[in-house]
Structure 1
Amino acid sequence: MRGRYLALAALVAAAAFIGGIALERFQTGANDGASPGQKILYWVAPMDPNFRRDGPGKSPMGMDLIPVYEGQESGGDPAAVELSGAEINAIGVRTAVARMEQVARSIETVGFVRYNEHLTSHIHTRVEGWIERLGVRAIGDRVAKGDVLFTMYAPEVTVASSELLRAIRGNDTREIGITRKKLRNFGVPESEIDRMATLDAPADRFDILAPRGGVVTALEAADGMFLKPDVRAMTISDLSQVWLLVDVFERDIGRLSSRKTATALFEHLPGKVFQGTIDYIYPELDRTTRTLPIRLSFDNAEGLLRPNMYGQVKLVPENTREALTVPMESVIRTGRAERVILRLADGTFKPRLVTTGLNDSFGGGGRTEIVQGLAPGDEVVASAQFLIDSESALNAGLLRMAPTKEEPAMGKGALVSLDGARRIAEIAHEAIPALDWPAMTTRFALTADIALDRLETGKTVKFSAMRGADGLLALHELRPDDGVDAVGTGIVEAITGDGKLSLSHDPIPELGWPAMQMDMPVRGVETAAVPLGQPVRFDLVKDDGGTFVITAVRPAASKQADQDKRKDEPAKMDSPAPGPEPEAEPMRLTRTDGTINAIDTANRTANISHGPLKEIGMPGMTMDFPLAGDLSAESLVTGPAQVVIGLGPDGKMVLAGATPAKPPMKAVGTINSVDPQARTANITHGPLADIGMPGMTMDFPVADGVDIDALPLNAEIEIHLQQNPDFSLTLTGVSEGRS
């Protein structure tokens, strides 16, 4: 119960904060944005910019609606969030740039500093004797190579020294060599033997010298001590190099190699990174901890590392790769997907789905690899992103960025690399509007049914991607770009006066088109040579306007051209025994403007002249549509309307709905200029009384059915304007004279 209260309190606090942003916008917008005479366009809810009304009132949450003035209109994207400079400062927005960085899959572990046993010397004598003067007094004393460790009296050395002097006096070279060798075997340093050879009397003392520089790590010797060969007098270790002993988990053993480099961090030395190498990989696993000991070697010329120090270690492969990275804190992780908040060029913020790779396992740490979704230079929010995330209309924004099997994201680009064994393709692709992705290079996983034998690196390819249950994108289609988007079969009935082919075609599954009769435009086709009344195959290519045109026509019996581009279809299998009917797949809906010409109530059909259906690339035409099962024929009226066309999983098209279009608004005006490419017209018009708009000069989009080249310029005419659902206006026609 206590947890529920805490959760409720957190929700109230979040709502209060977001409401505060909305209130602040309302106040600053009302005070700063509303200059005298500025017109209110509409009213919106503070918490839902999609809730609009023509006048003041209350939102569904009981909050006062906020006026939106001219010049303050949003861009129409419900996922985008606009923040003022004051709001950015208030919530502490910080951004970071996505950048390319060397990354590698490293192994992280911990370890302890140990003495390098290869640089350790144990001091023993080879004869018995007494220590008369000790040069080292305590453990930890530092010594240099050649320093006197202690002076020793040994009777055997005294006797050998006497023999050396006798051989020298007798000038017996052979005896001198034998005696010097005996002294060396007794452990007497060469410098001490040379000193003994210059004495007048046998030496009764000799010095034991340090064999290396370092630190005394063990000390058994003492003044006056009787020393035997089996007693260790002391131990000296050189700390200019040390070992770091670490343990690696069993799951990481397969990624170990002697070519990995090691980096170590120590808490008492913040910011100091030590570089080392793998010195030895032990052969036996610890049966208790299931870890494998690894010995690392580090340079310690500065003496900063001391035995038994605890350090954090990272083992990095010698070969790294370059990848796009962002700060770890900029990634918002949910149970189903990962996303970042992207700062756009116009200063707005927008969520974008991404696919991440390695996390905090490379470089200086604290960064995440982005496999899909961002391009170098993109600016992401690294703090306060959760507040912006809650402010944005994520449902609309993210649903558009989550392609499904029914509506995959289509793309095109150059195949950079192809790994058939791992089934990974790297593609430098163009912008993908369905994902809201810019042009960039992305690595995709490939499904098992994609044939790879026709793919060549460096060539242009087309692909379709969808997001799986794990939130990751994968390609379900990848093929060479042969310039043809689809191939259809049908019969050309006639050639129209404007050069189109009037044909009855079979269903085209690649485009989701059902069987129908339509007039299709052509490009590069000699229409006089097209056979009429005979089965043909035709190639379809999408033009710049998003509709398909026919680029080639050939007899249906000639399939050689298709065989050059496509594999033979697999042989049909015997139909399996009927089982339970699968659940019906949802119907795809697309909207367009059109005119309902006639309604056949008995047969439940409607004859409609519609505009282009750009979602499926179908040009505008007139055809009969069956009515959807839940659509009443009595609810339809003839005349202009916005029609909703449904495309079922069987490829059949039905009329799913229709909304009668409002009669166009009329005003007196003058067309100053037109832009045929942008399909806009600059118009100076009088007042529009229907919406209270004063006369002004502005650019209007021109409806698809209007011949823009035929519009009269610089003449006073009556213009017809249609108001769209987003309150924008479109020029739908003109007429001579004044209204």
Structure 2
Amino acid sequence: MNNRKQIIIAISGAFLMGAIIGWAITEKKSDPREELEHEHVAESSVFTCSMHPQIRQDEPGKCPICGMDLVPVSSANKNADLDSPYLLQMSSEAVALANISTTTVSEGEGGFSTDLNGKVEADERRISSVSANFSGRVDELFVAFTGQEVKKGERLARIYSPALITANQELIEAKKSKDISPKLYEAAKQKLRHWQLTDSQIEQMEMQGDYRTHFDIFASSSGVVSNRNIAVGDYVEKGQVLFEIIDLSKVWIMLDAYENNIGSIEKGDLIDFKVNALPNQDFKAKVSFIDPVLGADSRSVKVRAEVNNSDGLLKPEMLVTATVSSSNSENGSQPEVMIPSSAILWTGERSVVYRQVGSSEKPAFEMVVVTLGPASGNMQSIKSGLEIGDKIVTNGVFAVDGAAQLSGKYSMMSHPESQPFKVDDRFLVKLDGALDAYLALKNQLVSDQSAQQQAKVLVEEIKEIEGKELSQEATVKWKGLKNAIVQSALKISSGLDIEEERNQFVILSNKFIELVEAFGTHKEVVYKSHCPMAKNDQGAFWLSEFAEIKNPYFGSSMLGCGEVKKAYRKNQE
């Protein structure tokens, strides 16, 4: 019995030892691809905000600071081919999570179409006024309301005029002695012609043999009465406008073309338009006139077309939606490079797109600065930067740009720019005093305190810098920035409340950033920071002496909102 137990124990021990050895061997021979996959998934499962990179979460969601969609953190590619700051490597999982899609750059059709809005207006050349050619009292009206249609020569009103009665009497008396004094007779008729009476009216006055007490006013053109300025019993003076008549057999289509559309519209271009009142009917016209003056408030010009309206369907003030088609091509016989407008990131003077340069297994995107041509609906022509056949990001562009920022690559807001002016250290040392005053002003706003006194110091510091050592071109730039900085600082020092001071600080900061980017700095480092929620969510920049975010636009209410966008260093070119 004991032997049997010993045998069972030995066998069980052998099985147990075999299991342990098998586990150890299996652990040592685990698939390295599984480890890499696990590591990669862990890395891709971190999500952050493009504007607030300090936010890190393990799952997609919204940024708790600004509410933007969180994007996956991409791993940096270690290949030497992608070391360029213009290139960004993303994992295929990150591309899928960000819903990034690409489109192949296509060739345009050599023409452009522009969608414009406007309204129907009366042809100004077909508006006529009926005025009183003599004074008198309105005794009868034959047009009782506006909107009434009249024909040319139709009677509109009857007026009692003592002056005309007298002239009528003179004509009758002159007719009796016309054989003796024909000149007097002609003078009496000419006097009536000066009052716009026709020859037939004058003949009737002569044939009556007695003077008339009332005289009629007739329509000078056919159309619709748009204004009736008199009523029965009114006394009218010579030259007074009695009626306005509009001929609506032809009307104008007046469209608003904004600055970015003006270059693609020419006289003679075809217009297809609809009016809201007649949604099932299409109209066509051609551009007949383009206003030579840009509206200062609307930043647009009026584009006009003339339309036949003999059926009266189009009425003034009807709203119009139109498409202006042009066959004009700026490149002549060269093919037009066309891309969807959704692919473009506009940053003021610069426009950026992302071109795919990697494969589907290893996606990579290159930031490309492009020069824009005229727009055509939802498509945009490109003058330079892309070629037909390139693949560009059309959906998820902001996600790619945000990933580029987080990876330290060039992006929409951090593109390299060369310093335009080279100046010696003497000028930069002088700028240090003004920059120190600016930073002191900024710190007051960070502390939720008024910056009026610091603004006064800034004005004195900036005024003392003459810039005599600068070149002629640099002097022009310096004087423009100097005047703008002084004006903005004076407004801050004038006794505004702190919110208005912060509004002016936006302008002041932009000018100081422009100053540093133009001339450089003598300080070891100055940081350019950005808050996307400042200025009513429009975003605003500021300069700081430290990398830690201390927001001057919100102060203690949102002190950490923002991100460092750039660092300016001493002797940096």
TM-score range, shorter chain: 0.3 to 0.5
Structure holding more strand per residue:
1
Structure holding more helix per residue:
2
Higher relative contact order (CA 8 A, sep 6+): 2
Q: Normalization by structure 1: what TM-score?
A: 0.32
Q: Normalization by structure 2: what TM-score?
A: 0.39
Larger radius of gyration: 1
